[in-house]
Amino acid sequence: MRRPAQIERLYLDFDGFFASVEQQARPHLRGRPVGVVPFAEAERTCVIACSREAKLRGVKNVMTIAEARARCPDILLVPQSPDLYRRAHNALISEITAVIPVDAVKSIDELTCRVAPADRDAPEALGQRIKARLAENIGPHILCSIGFAANRQLAKMACKAGKPNGNMVWHPKDMPAPLLRLELKDIPGVGSHMEQKLLRTGITSIEALLATQPKHMRKLWGNVTGERLWYALHGYDLQTPPSGRGMYGHGRVLPPSTRTRTLEHARAAARLLLTKAARRMRRDGWNAGRLALWLELRDGAWQRALAAWSPRRSSGALRPRDLVE
Ligand SMILES: [Mg+2]
């Protein structure tokens, strides 16, 4: 396995994406604490994204409205505009692509790129070029953090460590010092369950985790993911295996006024969500082997699934279209 001696990867994550897109699109929100909420009648829901100004006042994502108001009484609550965020995403990606090819779009506000040899000696300048282009052509209110490192995992961690508005370079020659300043839970792939497991086995720091052996991490994780993480944290260039995606799913919380005794609104929402999921599947070249619908009700939940409608796909697995046709 190759261990790059230079910066080869870039990871970019927009800061408070939904909230900053709102501030860019609606001038009266600029410089003010903004919380994006799922719908206008928001009192019983939570903040799904907040602006930098709101974060400075102690508001966090997925905080209840009541708690957000307690910490920041003048917070401006804005109902989400998914179409606006999608259009902003497309515009931002096209501006970034004018500076550097995008290797993979990870989510609506995260992406990763390979750094070309010409940029490897001066990654900060590349980061500045991307930020300058976005400020110039999209607007100065949507900020991003960029991380550079030998591989994608480290670049993602560098990106997070540099937030907000970061341009963080973790050069292979300086590793692993920047990692040692972080905690186990700062590693993407170490959730609270895995963190507890590591702590129970006496691995209480990133330094201790780095000192294990790849096979040991494989055993801790129970699969090859742990071993891959060991190599990634040690700066090796890992070829990511093809996506292990098993399903396309969308969910929606119904606004209170549509939570009626009939299923009219739930049915309309389910239809819309199915259309969205199907559109994404078609774009990625998949057929469906199974269709499932989950409803969470006030007092319980309901779930049904339809098996594949083609006998050739009865296993329930999703396969690329070219394999089944
Ligand atoms: Mg983000």
pLDDT tens digit string along 262-303?
888 888 888 889 888 888 888 888 888 888 888 887 777 788
The yes-or-no verdict on residue 251 having pLDDT over 80 is yes
The yes-or-no verdict on residue 320 having pLDDT over 50 is no
CB 168 within 8 A of CB 13: no
User: How remote is the CA of residue 247 from the centroid of ligand 1, in Å?
Assistant: 23
**pLDDT at residue 239 in the model:** 72
**pLDDT at residue 300 in the model:** 79
Q: 260 with 318, same domain?
A: yes
> What are the beta bridge partners of residue 59?
none
The CATH number given to whatever domain includes residue 74 is 3.40.1170.60
Of 26, 48, 81, which residue sits at a domain end?
A: 81
CB 151 within 8 A of CB 237: yes
Residue 119 lies in a domain: no
User: How remote is the CA of residue 319 from the centroid of ligand 1, in Å?
Assistant: 31
The yes-or-no verdict on residue 316 having pLDDT over 70 is no
Residue 276 lies in a domain: yes
Residue 260 lies in a domain: yes
**pLDDT at residue 57 in the model:** 96
User: How remote is the CA of residue 291 from the centroid of ligand 1, in Å?
Assistant: 30
Q: 228 with 270, same domain?
A: no
* Helices 17-25 and 82-97: angle between axes, nearest 10 degrees: 90
Residue 297 lies in a domain: yes
CA distance 68 to 164: 20
Classify the C-alpha dihedral 249-253-255-256 as positive or negative: positive
**pLDDT at residue 305 in the model:** 78
Q: 260 with 237, same domain?
A: no
Average pLDDT over residues 161-179: 97
**pLDDT at residue 228 in the model:** 94
User: How remote is the CA of residue 289 from the centroid of ligand 1, in Å?
Assistant: 32
Q: 24 with 70, same domain?
A: yes
Q: 234 with 271, same domain?
A: no
For residue range 110-167, list pLDDT tens digits in order: 999 999 999 999 999 999 999 999 999 999 999 999 999 999 999 999 999 999 999 9
CB 155 within 8 A of CB 9: yes
User: How remote is the CA of residue 308 from the centroid of ligand 1, in Å?
Assistant: 36
Residue 7 lies in a domain: no
Other Cβ atoms within 10 Å of 69 Cβ, number: 17
**pLDDT at residue 152 in the model:** 96
- Give 214's contacts (C-beta < 8 A, 6+ positions apart): 227, 230, 231
User: How remote is the CA of residue 14 from the centroid of ligand 1, in Å?
Assistant: 4
Q: 314 with 260, same domain?
A: yes
In a 10 Å sphere around its CB, with 0-12 CB exposed, 13-18 middle and 19+ buried, how is residue 153 labelled? buried
Q: In what order do the strands lie in the sheet with 49-50?
A: 49-50, 34-37, 76-79
For residue range 23-57, list pLDDT tens digits in order: 999 999 999 999 999 887 767 788 999 999 999 99
Which comes out higher in pLDDT, residue 226 or 243? 226
**pLDDT at residue 175 in the model:** 97
Pairing of strands 9-14, 144-149: antiparallel
pTM: 0.80
**pLDDT at residue 227 in the model:** 95
User: How remote is the CA of residue 51 from the centroid of ligand 1, in Å?
Assistant: 11
User: How remote is the CA of residue 227 from the centroid of ligand 1, in Å?
Assistant: 27
Which residues neighbour ligand 1 (ion) by CB within 5 Å? 13-14, 17, 109
Residue 92 lies in a domain: no
User: How remote is the CA of residue 145 from the centroid of ligand 1, in Å?
Assistant: 8
Least confident stretch, 88-92, 224-228, 313-317: 313-317
**pLDDT at residue 259 in the model:** 80
**pLDDT at residue 252 in the model:** 81
Catalytically active residues, by annotation = 110
The yes-or-no verdict on residue 169 having pLDDT over 70 is yes
The CATH number given to whatever domain includes residue 229 is 1.10.150.20
**pLDDT at residue 309 in the model:** 55
Average pLDDT over residues 172-182: 97
Residue 102 lies in a domain: no
DSSP secondary structure of 203-245? --SHHHHHTS-HHHHHHHHTSHHHHHHHHHHTT----PPSP--
Domain containing residue 236: 179-241
For residue range 70-117, list pLDDT tens digits in order: 999 999 999 999 999 999 999 999 999 999 999 999 999 999 999 999
Residue 12 lies in a domain: no
Confidence label for 321 from pLDDT (cuts 50, 70 and 90):
very low
- Structural domains in the chain (count): 3
